[in-house]
Structure 1
Amino acid sequence: MRGRPLEFVTDLATSYGDITSHLLHGQRLVMVHHPDLVRRVLRDNGHGYTKQGTPDDMMLRPLLGNGLLTSSGRDWELQRKMYAPAFRPARITAYDEVVTDCTQALVKHLAEAAESGEPLPMDHHLTGLTLGILIRVISGTDVGEIGNGFGEAVDAVNRFIGEFDPAAGGEEQAKERMRAYLQARKFLHLVTGTLIAARNGQRASADDLLGQIIGADHIASTDDLRDQVLTLIMAGHETTAKTLTWALHLLDQHPDVADQLAEEVQRVVGDGVPDASHFPDLQLCRNVISESMRLYPPVWLMSRRSVADDELGGYTIPAGTLVSISQWVLHHDPRFHEEPYAFRPSRFGPDAPDMHPFSYLPFGGGSRVCIGQHLAIFEATLVLAMLSRFRFSVTPDCVVEPEALVTMRPRNGLSTKVTRR
C-alpha cells in the first residue's frame, strides 16, 4: 500500500471483488468497490459511519484542528450551515471577476514565457493562482508574494502526511522530515493568522465570508478561528490546482481536444475575458475538467469508521470497523466507465448516458459532499478558458506519473513549454 497504493487498491478490487478486507497495522480494514455499497456508507446509512478515528482524521487534525473537514456531529452541522450561503451556485457567479483578475496575472507571465521559450513549472503556478483566488474569495485580500511560500509549505505537509514512515531512512532522516513538517505548519498558521488580523481591522460585511466566520457565535477561540480559515484555504485551492494541472497534461496528450477547446472559447468568448454569462456555453471546458477529475481524482481515497453494526455486500461490519472507499478504483471501473483509462470528455456532455451517481465522486458524496464543488468547477472552467490561448507542451525531461499522497499529483511536477496559439 505504501509503495504502490494505486496498483494495490486496483488489484484488491480486481482480484477479490466488490468488498475486500485486509489487515493494516493490526486492524481490519474493509474496502468497498461498488457504487451501491459506497452509497450505503456515504448516504443511505451515512449517520452510521463517522470520520472520527479514521486515517483521514488522524492525518489532518494535527494541521487543521476541528475545521469543516475534521469536525463531526453538531460542530460540523454549525460549520456547514455557516458556510453554505457563500457556496451556493447562485452566489459563486459573483466571484467571476476575482477568478479572471487573478488569472490575468498568470496569462501575462505565460505570454512572457512564450516569448523567451523558458519552461515553466505549471503545477506551481496553478497552485499559486488557485490560492490567490481563494483568499480573495474568502477575505478580499491579495495573497501577494506569500503564494509561492504557501504552496511550498502545502507540498511539505502533504508529503509528510502521505509518505511519513518513522522507520524509513533512519532516525536522523525521520527527525528532518518532522522538522520540515513542523516548520511548514508554523508558516501556514502564521499566514492564516495574518489574514485574520488584517480582516479584524476592517468593518464586517454580510457578503464577506471571513467576516461571517469571525462573527460566528460558535467560534470560541483564536485557534478555532484559525482552524476554520486554514481548512477553507487548504481544501479549496489544492484540489482545484491539481485538477487544472492534470487537465493541461491531458490536453497536451490530446491536441485535437485542445484545438476544439480553443475553438469553443473563441466562439463563446471571442477575444475578451470570460465571465459568468459565458459559463453555461463553455461545455467542452467543463467536460475536460470533469474528465480530468475522473482520470486523476484529486482525492483518491476516503475513510469512515462504523458507529454501529452494519451489513455491506452480505457481510457483517462490526461497530468500530474502518471502511475505505477509493475514488481511483470507482473512476476506473470498466463496468461503469467504458474504456476507463481513455480521455473522453464527451462522457460528461448533455447527450452522454447517465452515470451511476456513486461511480464518480471527485467531491465525495452524501451529506458531507464538498461544499465548494460548484465554486471549484466554475473557477476551473473560467481559468481553463483563459489558458486556452496558449499551447502547453510537457518538456521531454518531465516524466508525468501520478503520485497518491493526500491529493493526487504529478510525481515530478509539470514542466511545460508555452507557445501562443
Structure 2
Amino acid sequence: MPWYTHFFHDPLTCFADMQQKFGQIFAVGSPIPFRRKQRKFVIAFGPDNNRRILQDTETFRPGSVSVRGPRDSGLNRIRVGFSVAKHQQDNSLRKIVLPAFQKNAVQDYHADIVTLTNEVLEHWSDGQKIEIWEQMRILSGNLACQLLFGRESLEDSRALGESLQQFMQQSYVSPASLRLNMAGTPYHALVRRGEEIASTIQNMLDRRETSITARSDVLEMMVRTFQNSTDAEHIPDLVGPAAFLFVASFETVANAMTWTLFLLAQHPHIMAELFDELQQVLGGEAPSTRQLAQLPLLEATIKESLRILTPVPITYRVARKETELNGVQICSGDRVMCSQYVTHHTPDLFSEPNRFNPHRWFSINPNTYEYFPFGAGPRSCLGYTLGMTIIKVSLAMILQSFRLSVIPQTRIDRMVKLTMSPKRGISMYVHRQDRRFEAVPVKGNIHQMVDLKQTESNRSSFPQVKYGKSKFTRSADTYGDAA
C-alpha cells in the first residue's frame, strides 16, 4: 500500500508504522503524480523537531492537506484560513482578534456558557439514549456562533455553523479523489458549498461595514479594526479567517468534551473522585470563573484527556524556503508534518502513555513542545483560555447533573481529518446523577490509544457515599495554566 493511501485511511497508524521503520524524521514522495513541480512530505517526531517546525515561522508557514478549489473560488477564500494576509506580512490577523480571547474577555462569556449548556441539558432525561458527540457539537457550535456571529439571529448563525461543519468534513479528502468539477461529483458539491459559505460570510461583513449595533461580536471587531486603518479595502480577506475561527473554536471543543466524557465513563474510580471534588466546591451549581481554580482534579482530567486523545493530532506546515531539518534537506513548497498525538504517546515523556491517569499532572511539567494539544510557538491556538473555560464549565455542569454510561459493545473508532473525532459517534445512556459509575466493554481501535482492558474487566461501580474533604489541595497553577 502506498504511504499516502495508508495516511489518508488512518494517519496515526501510518505514522506509527513509518516511525518504527524510518526513525524520528523521514521524507516521502508527493501523493499527487504528474505535478509540474514535485514536492515531498517530511514527517518529523520528537520535541526538538516540534520546536524547530513550530517556532521557526520564517521558514515554516501554516499549511494543510485540504483540497484546493478553482481560482478565485469561495473554496479557496475559506481555505486560506488564518494565514497572515499578503498585504500584512508584519501585522497578523491574530493580533486583531486576540483581545476577544484573552482572560479578561473570557470572563464576559461565562453567562453564555452556562445558559447554552443548560439549553442542551434541558433536553436530556433519565434513561435516555443520546449520541454524545452530536450533543457536544450542538453545544460547542452554539457557543461558537454566539461568540463569532452573535450579531446575527441565532437561526442564521446556527445554519452557517452547520454548513461550516459539513464543509470541514468534506474538504479533507484523499488526493486520489479526482477534482472533477462536474455536477454530481463530491468535488462539485464542495465547491458549491464553499461559494455559499463565502457569500454568507461576505454578507455579514458588509452589514458590519455599514451599521453598528449594541450587540457586537468577533466578526465586527475584525471589520472595525480594518475600517479604522488603511486596510479597509482588504475586508473581504476576512472571509477565510472568520470561517477558520469558527471551525477551530467549535470542533476542538466538541471533540475534547466528547473524549473526556467517554474516558470518565470508562474509568469509574476517577469519575468518583472528580464527582467528590465538584460536589465539595460547587454543591451542584455551575462554577464561577473564580471557582475554576479550586478544581485541580477537573483541570488535570481535562489535560490528561487532551494528551491521550488529542483533538488535533497532526500539525501541517509548508516550507517557505530551502532549509535543513535534522539532516533532511527541505525545499521551498515541501510539506512538513509533526504530531501532537505521537509526542503525547511517547513513553520517554509520559510513562504508561496509553493509560488514562489524571494524577500524573500533579508531578509532571512537560514543556510546550512535549505537550501541545492546542499547538505551540507563535502560531499556537489563541483560543486556549476560552476553550478550556468552556470545557471546564460545561463538564462541571454535566457531571453534577447526569451520569453517562457507554452502551456496551459500542464500536469506537477514530476519524482523523483536521481533528480527531469518533468515527460513528459514541452512544451513551443518560441517568440522573446517582453515582453508580461503571465501565463497560467497547470495541474498535480506541483500544490502540487507551488501555481499557483492566478498567473494563474490573467494571467497578461506586455506591452513594458521603463527601469528605478533597485530597486535591494544590492550586491549578502548579501544574498548568488555569483558565
2:181/2:187 contact within 8 Å kept: no
| Residue from 130, 146, 160 that aligns with 1:120 | 130
Opposite residue 392 of structure 2, the aligned amino acid is: T
8 A Cα contact 1:103 1:129, kept in partner:
yes
Aligned partner of 2:357 in structure 1 is 344
1:336–1:356: 8 Å Cα contact kept in structure 2?
A: no
Q: Which has the higher contact order (CA 8 A, sep 6+)?
A: 1
User: 1:82-161 maps to which residues of 2 (within 5 A)?
Assistant: 82-110=96-124, 113-114=125-126, 117-141=127-151, 144-145=154-155, 149-150=159-160, 152-161=162-171
Q: Secondary structure at the match of 2:424?
A: coil
Tell me if the contact between 2:151 and 2:215 (Cα under 8 Å) persists in the aligned partners.
no
Compared with structure 1, are the counterparts of its residues 171 and 88 closer, same or farther at alpha carbon in structure 2 (3 Å cutoff)? Answer: closer
The 1:76/1:342 distance shift into structure 2, 3 A limit, reads farther
Deviation, 1:376, is 0.5
Change in 2 beyond 3 A, CA 1:57/1:289: farther
* Matched-pair contact (CA < 8 Å) for 1:246–1:296: yes
Larger radius of gyration: 2
What SS class does the counterpart of residue 246 from structure 2 fall into?
A: helix
Amino acid at match of 2:101: F
Are the equivalent residues in 2 in contact too, given 1:22–1:28 (CA < 8 A)? yes
* Unaligned ranges ≥5, structure 1: none
Partner residue of 2:218? 209
Structure 2 residue aligned with 1:39, among 33, 51, 68?
Answer: 51
Residue 174 of structure 1, CA deviation: 9.6
* Cα 1:199–1:50 shift into 2, 3 Å: closer
Counterpart of 2:312 in structure 1 is 299
Task: Report the CA distance shift for 1:228/1:300 in structure 2 as closer, same or farther (over 3 A).
Answer: same
Change (3 A) 1:132 1:198: farther
Asked whether the equivalents of residues 65 and 224 of structure 1 are also in contact (C-alpha less than 8 Å), the reply is no
Contact 2:149 2:157 in 1 (8 A): no
Distance 1:338 1:76, change over 3 A: farther
Counterparts in 2 of 1:396 and 1:193: CA distance versus 1, 3 Å: farther
Shift of 1:223: 3.3
Q: How many pairs does the alignment contain? A: 412
Distance in 2 (alpha carbons) for counterparts of 1:142 and 1:121:
28
Tell me whether 1:329 sits opposite 2:329 in the alignment. Answer: no
Q: CA separation in 1, counterparts of 2:385 and 2:265?
A: 26
Q: For residues 10-34 of structure 1, give each alpha carbon's deviation from its aligned partner in whole angstroms, at most 9, with x where no partner exists.
A: 1222332211222232532111101
Matched-pair contact (CA < 8 Å) for 2:249–2:387: yes
2-structure distance, mates of 1:76, 1:405:
30
Preserved contact between residue 135 and residue 141 of structure 1 (Cα < 8 Å): no
CA positional deviation for 1:305: 2.3
CA distance in 2, matches of 1:152, 1:283: 34
Of 222, 246, 254, the match for 1:241: 254
Question: For residues 263-285 of structure 1, what are the alpha-carbon distances to aligned partners after superposition, in whole Å with 9 as ceiling and x for unaligned?
Answer: 21111111222121111112222
Q: 2:82 is aligned with what amino acid?
A: L
The farther-off stretch of 245-254 and 65-74 is 65-74
Displacement of 1:145: 4.5
Aligned partner letter, 2:93: Q
Q: Secondary structure at the match of 1:292?
A: helix
Write the distance in 1 (CA, Å) between the matches of 2:48 and 2:281. Answer: 39
Match for residue 371 of structure 1?
Answer: 382
Counterpart in the other structure of 1:406: 418
Q: Percentage identity across aligned positions? A: 25
The answer on whether the counterparts of 1:56 and 1:303 sit within 8 Å (CA) in structure 2 is: no
Q: Secondary structure at the match of 1:273?
A: coil
Distance 1:330 1:71, change over 3 A: farther
Q: Is the 8 A contact 1:128 1:151 kept in 2?
A: no
Which amino acid is the alignment partner of residue 79 of structure 1? L
Question: What letter matches 2:146 in structure 1?
Answer: R
Structure 2 partner of 1:385: 396
Out of 3, 23, 29, which is 2:41 matched to? Answer: 29
- Describe the superposition over 1:299-330 as per-residue Cα deviations: whole angstroms up to 9, x where unpaired: 22222222333332233434443211111211
How far residue 199 of structure 1 moved from its aligned partner, in angstroms, is 5.4
SS at match of 2:137: helix
With over 3 angstroms needed to count, the CA separation of the structure-2 counterparts of 1:74 and 1:384, relative to structure 1, is: same
Please give the secondary structure, in 1, of the residue aligned with 2:8: coil
Change (3 A) 1:282 1:186: farther
Structure 2: which amino acid aligns with 1:15?
A: K
Tell me the equivalent position of 1:18. 24
Which residue does the alignment assign to 2:94? Answer: 80
Report the alpha carbon displacement of residue 150 of structure 1 after superposing the two structures with TM.
Answer: 5.0
Structure 1 stretches (4+) deviating beyond 6 angstroms?
Answer: 170-174
For residue 412 of structure 2, give the secondary structure of its aligned residue in structure 1.
coil
Contact between 1:65 and 1:227, CA under 8 Å: does it hold in 2? yes
TM-score, normalised relative to structure 1: 0.87
Distance, in Å, in 2 between the alignment partners of 1:94 and 1:19 is 44
The structural deviation recorded for 1:166 is 5.0
Structure 2 CA distance for partners of 1:275 and 1:219, relative to 1, 3 Å: farther
Question: Partner letter of residue 212 of structure 1?
Answer: M
TM-score, scaled relative to structure 2: 0.76
Q: Which structure dedicates a bigger proportion of its chain to helix? A: 1
Q: 1:394 aligns with which of 406, 427, 434?
A: 406
Q: Give the drift of 1:155.
A: 4.5
1:137-183 alpha-carbon deviations (Å, 9 max, x no partner): 23434764567755653443233222345558x98999442344345
